Amino acid sequence: MSSITIDASCHYAQNHEWIRIEGDVAVVGISDYAQDQLGDIVYVELPQVGDQLAQGDSFGVVESVKAASDCYLPVSGKIIAVNDQLESEPELVNSDPFGEGWFVRLQTSDPAQLESLMDAPAYATFCEQDN
Amino acid sequence: MTYIPHTPEQLAQMLKTVGVDSTDRLFDVIPQEHRFPDLDLPPALSEPELADVFRQLSEQNDDLDHATSFLGAGAYHHYIPSIVGHVVSRSELYTAYTPYQPEVSQGTLQAIFEYQSMICALTGMDACNASHYDGATALAESIITTIAAGRGRRRQVVMAPSVHPQYRQVCASYTSGMDVDIATAGNPRATPETLLSMVDNQTACLIVQSPDYFGRIHDLAPVASALHDMGALLVVVTHPISLGLLKPPGGQGADIVVGDGQPLGNPLAFGGPHLGFFGCTKSLVRRMSGRLVGETVDDGGNRGYVLTLSTREQHIRRGKASSNICTNQGLNALAAAVYLSVMGKQGLAQVARLCYHKAHHAATLINRVAGFSAEMDHPFFNEFTVECPCDATDLCARIYDQAGIVAGYPLKPDFPDLANQLLVCVTEVNSSEQIAALAGALAEATA
Amino acid sequence: MIEPIIYELGRPGRTGIDLPACDVPESPLPRELLRDDLDLPEVSQLDVMRHYVRLSQMNYGVDVGMYPLGSCTMKYNPKINEDIARLPGFGSTHPLQPEATVQGNLQLLFEMQQALAELSGFDAVSLQPAAGAHGELAGVLMIRAYHASRGDTQRQVMLIPDSAHGTNPASTTMAGFRPIELPSDPRGNVDLTELAKHLNDDLAGMMLTNPNTLGLFDEQITQISNMVHAAGGLMYGDGANFNAMMGIAKPADLGFDVMHFNLHKTFATPHGGGGPGSGPVGATVTLAPFLPGPIAQRIDEADDPADTHRHGYHLQMPSRSIGRLKAFHGNYGVIVRAYAYIRSLGAAGLRQASEMAVLNANYVQTKLQDVLPLPYDRTCAHECVLQGIVDGADSIHALDISKRLIDHGFHPPTNYFPLIVPEALMIEPTETESLETLDSYCSAVRRIAKEAIDSPELLHNAPSSAPVGRLDEVRAARQLRLRWLPASKSNADDR
């Protein structure tokens, strides 16, 4: 467990998505813990720019060789960008899950929803228990 | 003959190891009132008896090795090179399971990879899967694919009425539990261009068949570009032998190409097992259902093959899979691969040409028979419709009784308004004598 | 050991077969409709044969050795059935020939329908579905049509145990229903308390494999079907494991309303490297009218003395059929083989097959339960599930044990399924394996368990004796190469 990184600037959902607020835009991806569990990522299916989604909606699928996991949006919002680089380099999710391995950027509609998520220390505890 | 090797001594030894005094004990969990029911089945047969019973049963059929036939309509009588049967009879190939353990299944995997490659070359598509049950189910799956490609936002399909009637029925059954609307035109002769007027921004795809059910070849390029402008996809049903001669749908803008590969080295077998092929463009690969074999390397750097993109499939994705398909038609795909390998570039082109010329010759001869009119105005490959001076079903029955020739397939069952029409198919196995005999039989039966 | 791609064995201008010259006048070809090139191999017939022989030598089949894949029933494929299926009277008949010319075929279909009905207790059978999953789709669509016919369109839920094969929820979704997963209890049965939570007006039915994929017969089967029926639902049976049931119990007696068979499992037709299979569907009187069609029927002289309806065998659509699920009548060539198998064994033989299948699996379970963990300590049916976990060898997983079995001359069992057992190894020997083979298999597993502790690298590096080593599946998925292209064309990462 000690080798797993938890980015302190993010909030986390129970399904291991992270969200980082950058002004009025939020960035979403999956955590280091998640990519470690999934193994080598081979493909990420992402939504379309312009999609309006609610908190808890499935916004994509992350695939390894043996599994495909749905990703759920931690907060509601409108998708304003998707990480096209993942199309040709899905391994970025493994190597840099909090940076280059980001999934989507969205315009959040309800900042208060952040409070329903875990902060970094709470997520660390959550992962320990998950183990 | 049970093929069970246990001797009485071994049976006793095994029961002792397991700790029961009889095999009956192993079924104590079954509710007693339902345990060990009587089975009213014919008595067991030894191998020689079995051979005899089934030989007699088979001889109660008139087979096409012994009769002249011009039947097509979705199943075709072609010559199967002898080598095909020998290859598919190799135990290591036909008694193998689905190649989930790639290290011990490289034979199957490479053969399917080669099959995929050849079907791509034939159809002009970027990728193709390891098979569907048949052309009809491949077409049904293509509907699911085009709807998924549009993320479910477009749920209307426009289907040409000249697509094989059974294929259309299968599509209707397959989609009966999905929120999909399949629209078609009333006139069976409607060409693809006329169907464009039915396409709008709710249409996921337009499905056309070329050569169509009536044998007619259609130019697809103008249809494809108009469709793409409207954001819809083009699905083409085609005949693999015709692709030995004709422009492939891939080169004309098709997004998905499906059809039945039975003519490629697979026997008629009274309708199955046949072979659904499915090819698509690069952008649709991840939406395609069915198994896919991909090339990779092993830990020593050697080239090898594995099933790939398995996460689309039911064993991983379960309720969210692109399809429920598991067992497909692997051995039939192998037969097709062997057929295409031994026929090769020249052989397939030659078969296609023979079919084309013989069919056109037959149509010409039939047109000279009083009262008959073979449709030759529209370009066709090796099937064409014939307008008869009487009910085509009765006519066929008379001709079979009188001359032992299966003249064709009457359209009446599927097109009640076309009761006097017959669908005639000519392949490379029909000699010029047989074709002359057909024309003669049509004349005699209506003299 | 690399075998070239078939294209690589060719040379421009080579042909593999010659054809007769055209014996009719040629017609003009429509130039603008012709293709420019046709990229198929140009290989001599000898090279084609060698290529496929060499490919076959890289393959493992039932005819090579034991193939104990759980729920696949890899039993011996009798060769006489191959000859029978190839008789021209069967193989060279066209599905659209007039019925009077194929009475033998229609009789075979009819008798096969009857045989399957007799074995299962169902009232009617359709032989049209081409595989188990296809049969499942038929069954779920039939249940849907049944409820719709009674105005119960709100019934949309299909209950499926967590041990079920992936095709079950996939078929459910395709039919427009909602799959809900039911947990199993510690004895491997469906958890009745959980089941009880779903007995309401939304319930369309339940899909159950019995015996299930844990190799266990549900101890509460009649309670389950009674509960589901009382709530207005129907019971779908996944017949993949029917090899444990022939002459032992009839699914219809246990409360199933509709069930599919896998002819390529229970009835000894070859797996073909991925098909063709055949997935007939049986139904009770209630659901019979909804079966996919057409199905074979017989009109006897006694029923029709004036011969107004033509005596003999015919094809007919069931009265409220869900329609056609495939072109023509079904995978007839597979059906012929399966029917020959049934006639070869007869009632006593089929029961004996199931008894020996169950005995063989229990024997393996007994011999290996001290070597590998046994999650469910009960009499198993025709397959047993053990776990690929070795005490004192933490780095070893089910996958490693499976790959090492290849080096010992055996095909691996099913791995990682059912999903509810971690490191699952599902072993189905089938009844055609002898005691010597079973003992040899168990010895190999025992040796491997020891290797896991003494020399785990043997397992991690396995297989070392196969034509290829472990293949990079990640690379296959990231760098899609789904067709061969000559070196001159781009063969680079094709996304």
**Which tens digit of pLDDT belongs to each residue from C234-251?**
999 999 999 999 999 999
Q: Which residue of chain C has the CA closest to B314?
A: C166
Q: Which two tokens stand for residue A121?
A: 């220390």
| Length of chain B measured in residues | 447
Mean pLDDT of B164-181: 96
Q: State whether B316 and A45 contact (CB < 8 Å).
A: no
Radius of gyration of chain B from its Cα atoms, rounded to whole angstroms: 25
Q: Which of C402, C470, C478, C494 to mutate to test the interface with A (most CBs of A within 10 A)?
A: C478
* pLDDT surpasses 70 at C448: yes
| Chain B positions in Cβ-Cβ contact with residue A65 (cut-off 8 Å) | 310-311
Q: State whether B316 and A64 contact (CB < 8 Å).
A: no
Q: State whether C52 and B44 contact (CB < 8 Å).
A: no
Question: For residue range B305-327, what is the model confidence (pLDDT) as tens digits?
Answer: 999 988 777 777 777 777 888 78
Q: State whether B58 and C88 contact (CB < 8 Å).
A: yes
pLDDT of residue C470: 87
Q: State whether B268 and C277 contact (CB < 8 Å).
A: no
Mean pLDDT of B361-367: 98
- Residue B265 has phi, psi (to 5 degrees) of 75, 10
In this prediction, residue A2 has a pLDDT band, given cuts at 50, 70 and 90, of low
Q: Which of A35, A42, A91 to mutate to test the interface with C (most CBs of C within 10 A)?
A: A42
Q: Which residue of chain A has the CA closest to B318?
A: A68
Share of chain C above pLDDT 90, in %: 89
Task: Check if the beta carbon of residue C333 is closer than 8 Å to that of residue B267.
Answer: yes
Mean pLDDT of B394-414: 96
**C414 bridge partner residues:** C426
- The answer to whether residue A55 sits within a structural domain is yes
At C80, which amino acid appears? I
Among residues A41, C467, C215, C269, which one has the least CA distance to residue B101? Answer: C467
| Chain A positions in Cβ-Cβ contact with residue C477 (cut-off 8 Å) | 42-43, 63, 65
- The answer to whether residue A4 sits within a structural domain is no
Mean pLDDT of A32-46: 93
Q: Count the alpha carbons within 13 Å of B185 in the hemisphere toward its beta carbon.
A: 20
Using left for φ > 0, alpha for ψ between -120 and 50, and beta otherwise, residue C429 falls in alpha
Q: Count the alpha carbons within 13 Å of C95 in the hemisphere toward its beta carbon.
A: 28
Does domain C80-341 bear CATH number 1.10.3720.10?
no
- The answer to whether residue A1 sits within a structural domain is no
Query: Domain of A44: which CATH number?
Result: 2.40.50.100
Q: Which of A65, A70, A71, A82 to mutate to test the interface with B (most CBs of B within 10 A)?
A: A65
Q: Which two tokens stand for residue B176?
A: 């009966």
**Closest approach of C381 to chain A, Cα-based (Å):** 28
* pLDDT surpasses 60 at C494: no
Share of chain B above pLDDT 70, in %: 100
The structural architecture, per CATH, of the domain B68-78+345-445 is Alpha-Beta Complex (3.90)
Topology at the third CATH level for domain C351-477: Aspartate Aminotransferase, domain 1 (3.90.1150)
Mean pLDDT, chain A, whole residue set: 92
Share of chain B above pLDDT 90, in %: 90
Q: Does B303 touch chain A if contact means CB atoms closer than 8 Å?
A: no
For residue A86, give its domain range.
Answer: 11-125
| Chain A positions in Cβ-Cβ contact with residue C493 (cut-off 8 Å) | 88
Question: For residue range A78-111, what is the model confidence (pLDDT) as tens digits?
Answer: 999 999 999 889 999 999 999 999 999 999 988 8
Task: Check if the beta carbon of residue C202 is closer than 8 Å to that of residue C232.
Answer: no
Among residues A115, A100, A127, which one has the least CA distance to residue A34? Answer: A127
The structural architecture, per CATH, of the domain B82-339 is 3-Layer(aba) Sandwich (3.40)
Say yes or no: ipTM exceeds 0.90.
yes
Helix (H, G, I), strand (E, B) or coil at B211: coil
* pLDDT surpasses 70 at C309: no
Q: How many domains does chain A have?
A: 1
Mean pLDDT of A4-18: 94
Q: State whether C495 and A87 contact (CB < 8 Å).
A: yes
In this prediction, residue C469 has a pLDDT band, given cuts at 50, 70 and 90, of confident
Mean pLDDT, chain C, whole residue set: 94
- Angstrom distance (rounded) from CA A93 to CA A77: 22
Mean pLDDT of C195-208: 97
Facing B316 at nearest CB: one of A48, A67, A70? A67
Q: Domain coordinates of chain B in residue numbers?
A: 68-78+345-445, 82-339
pLDDT of residue C305: 64
SS3 annotation, chain A:
CCCCCCCCCCEECCCCEEEEEECCEEEEEECHHHHHHHCCEEEEECCCCCCEECCCCEEEEEEECCCEEEEECCCCEEEEEECCHHHHCCCHHHHCCCCCCCCEEEEECCHHHHHHCECHHHHHHHHHHHC
In this prediction, residue B333 has a pLDDT band, given cuts at 50, 70 and 90, of very high
Q: State whether C495 and A88 contact (CB < 8 Å).
A: yes
Q: State whether A45 and B286 contact (CB < 8 Å).
A: yes
Listed by number, the residues of chain C in 133-172 with a beta carbon closer than 8 Å to a beta carbon of chain A are none
- Locate tokens 């990231």: which residue? C478
pLDDT of residue C91: 97
Q: B25-32 contacts: CB < 8 A, separation 24 or more? A: B26/C355, B26/C358, B26/C359, B26/C362, B26/C379, B27/C248, B27/C249, B27/C358, B28/C379, B29/C217, B29/C219, B29/C379, B30/C217, B30/C248, B30/C249, B31/C221, B31/C222, B31/C249, B31/C254
- Angstrom distance (rounded) from CA B86 to CA C388: 39
Q: Which residue of chain A has the CA closest to C477?
A: A42
- Angstrom distance (rounded) from CA B282 to CA C456: 42
* pLDDT surpasses 70 at C307: no
Indicate yes or no: pTM above 0.80. Answer: yes
Question: For residue range B251-292, what is the model confidence (pLDDT) as tens digits?
Answer: 999 999 999 999 999 999 999 999 999 999 999 998 998 999
pLDDT of residue C345: 98
Q: Which two tokens stand for residue C132?
A: 């188990």
Peptide bond into C294 cis (omega under 30): yes
Q: CA B357 → CA C279, C397, C420, distances in Å?
A: 40, 62, 61
All partners of chain B with 3 or more CB pairs under 8 angstroms: A, C
Mean pLDDT of C170-183: 94
pLDDT of residue C492: 44
Among residues C87, C262, C51, which one has the least CA distance to residue B90? Answer: C51
* pLDDT surpasses 90 at B151: no
Question: For residue range B407-437, what is the model confidence (pLDDT) as tens digits?
Answer: 999 999 999 999 999 999 999 999 999 999 9
C258-261 and A77-82 as β-strands: parallel, antiparallel, unpaired? unpaired
* pLDDT surpasses 60 at C203: yes
Q: How many CB atoms lie within 10 A of CB B288?
A: 26
Q: State whether A66 and B151 contact (CB < 8 Å).
A: no
- Angstrom distance (rounded) from CA A59 to CA A80: 13
| Chain B positions in Cβ-Cβ contact with residue C172 (cut-off 8 Å) | 319
- The answer to whether residue A109 sits within a structural domain is yes
Q: Domain coordinates of chain C in residue numbers?
A: 80-341, 351-477
Facing C366 at nearest CB: one of B17, B23, B353? B17
- The answer to whether residue A3 sits within a structural domain is no
Task: Check if the beta carbon of residue B240 is closer than 8 Å to that of residue B263.
Answer: yes
pLDDT of residue C308: 61
Q: State whether C477 and A87 contact (CB < 8 Å).
A: no
Q: Does C474 touch chain A if contact means CB atoms closer than 8 Å?
A: yes
